[in-house]
Homo-oligomer: A and B are copies of this chain.
Amino acid sequence: MFPVQTAISQVFSDRILVRGYSLTAMAGTYSFGDVVYLLMTGELPLGQEGEMIEAILVACVEHSINAPSTHTARAVANTGAPLQTAVAAGVSAIGEHHGGAGEACARLLQETIQAHPTATPDELAARVTADFRQRGQRLPGFGHRFHDPDPRAQQLLALADAKGISSVHVALARAMVTALHEATGRSLPLNVDGALAALLSDMGIGWRYGKALFIIGRTAGLAAHACEEQMTGKPFQFAARVEAEYIGPVERPLPPRPSETV
């Protein structure tokens, strides 16, 4: 059968190469952020992209128990599952409604600019915002149910401005905040997913890695919570606390089995 193709790494008995570079030579000289950038783009950063990615990973690392992924990881750890099982369940809860908007937002930013390379951010923002409103959809990456503004987005954009990383995708994202405000009268600032999306786009990383970057950072928080739950969690402390309201049929006698009615 044909072999499986990959451009990521090669393993030899005496060395491991990632995108052609020695993994062990990078350990201790390049940061984890540098290597994540290498994994995602194929090249080591020429500028401060590695530090920017480290900052993104830190910003994504932790949002306590009320984040659905963390709640899920702890709930599974609470059942006596091993650590990898609890973290895996937590990762699987990073979906469209939580942590996953970075992928959709990055795709929107990248495809919009690719399709209209000469338009201004304000023109594009007006068009994209109108499109989404016409379809009745929410723009991914804007607004947060708890933070207004999202301090993580503010900090990441300030860092990107200082590092000279902010470019056309950040400009479009900022123009969309203004366009959204004008169109709706509401404040829908960039959230951490939206900032992550704009920044990875301006660093030349494909939109498909938008969710990946959040997952990598958050995994550290999930692991810490799962370990804490293993050490200190009270039995059934998650599932048992849900107050359920039953809205189905009231108690009723069993009907005779169909075969018995013949």
Residues of A within 8 A of B (CB): 1-11, 13-36, 39-40, 42, 44-48, 50-51, 54-59, 61-72, 74-76, 78-85, 87-89, 91-98, 100, 103, 145-148, 151-152, 154-156, 159, 206, 208-209, 211-212, 215-217, 219-221, 223-228, 230-252, 254-255, 257-258
Contact = CB atoms under 8 A, between A and B. Distances in A.
B83 A85 contact: no
A84 B153 CA distance: 22
Given A20-B251, A155-B27, A14 B92 contact: no
Given A24-B151, A31-B31, A255-B44, A146 B212 contact: no
Total copies of the chain? 4
A246 B7 contact: yes
Given A19-B249, A59-B27, A81 B85 contact: yes
A33 B30 contact: no
A92 B96 contact: no
Given A44-B255, A58-B26, A97-B80, A148 B13 contact: yes
* Residue from A9, A78, A80 with most neighbouring chain B CB atoms (10 Å): A9
Given A18-B61, A27-B152, A239-B66, A4 B244 contact: yes
Nearest to A147: B13
A242 B238 contact: yes
Contact of A151 (B16, B89, B237, B255): B16
Contacts of A56: 27
A221 B39 contact: yes
A184 to B, nearest CB: 19
Given A3-B243, A3-B244, A27-B59, 18 more contacts: A1-B241, A4-B242, A7-B247, A8-B64, A9-B246, A17-B251, A19-B249, A20-B251, A21-B254, A27-B155, A27-B156, A28-B155, A85-B85, A88-B88, A89-B92, A145-B236, A212-B220, A216-B216
